[in-house]
Chain A
């Protein structure tokens, strides 16, 4: 069965970086893109980025450009999302999701808390 297993919760100080992992299993890793979506406490969903694992190409939301980096380790089927220069507004649950068009399967989410 398709599974996306994300790394555990993180607490970071303002200005630091965080790296969240998403390990895919149960399907051919290179056949589907991986999205990153976040949700601040009590807020809606925000699309952040998409990775094409076949070509290792990425597209980022303009508002995060320069602070976000999505990379992949095709040998293990793992995708990494790194967000730098963290601000309190980056406190959110971060989700990875599979889907070449819209997402179909989602990870369980990773809570990232940015606090001094």
Chain B
């Protein structure tokens, strides 16, 4: 199975900040990488697919980059509604594994 490692596990930031979350795959996955946002008690919400493509209707404050084994999610101009847990997922090969999550908290 492909292991997905996210860093950092948690992150404190202030409203208005820009933050970057990293996801590393244990082997190359080309661009088959997605990012999700999850708030407590809610289903995950899809943000990014194919490493850098923004899901329809989402603001451009969310951006993804990377290929191969190293990927990043950047969130600019943080707003209160952006504080949540973020997960990466590879869908290059089964099983489609997730990272362990990064909890973004308000400083």
Please report the total number of B residues contacting A with Cβ < 8 Å. 23
Contact of B96 (CB < 8 Å), options: A35, A104, A107? A35
Q: How far is the CB of A5 from chain B (nearest CB, A)?
A: 12
Please report the total number of A residues contacting B with Cβ < 8 Å. 22
Contact of B46 (CB < 8 Å), options: A47, A62, A104? A104
Contact B87 A109 (CB under 8 A): no
Contact B100 A44 (CB under 8 A): yes
CB contacts (< 8 Å) of B1 on chain A: these are 62
Q: Is A59 an interface residue (CB 8 A)?
A: yes
Give the residue name and chain of the A residue nearest to B33 (CB).
Answer: A102
Q: Is B84 an interface residue (CB 8 A)?
A: no
A-B pairs with the 3 shortest C-beta distances?
A102-B34, A106-B43, A45-B98
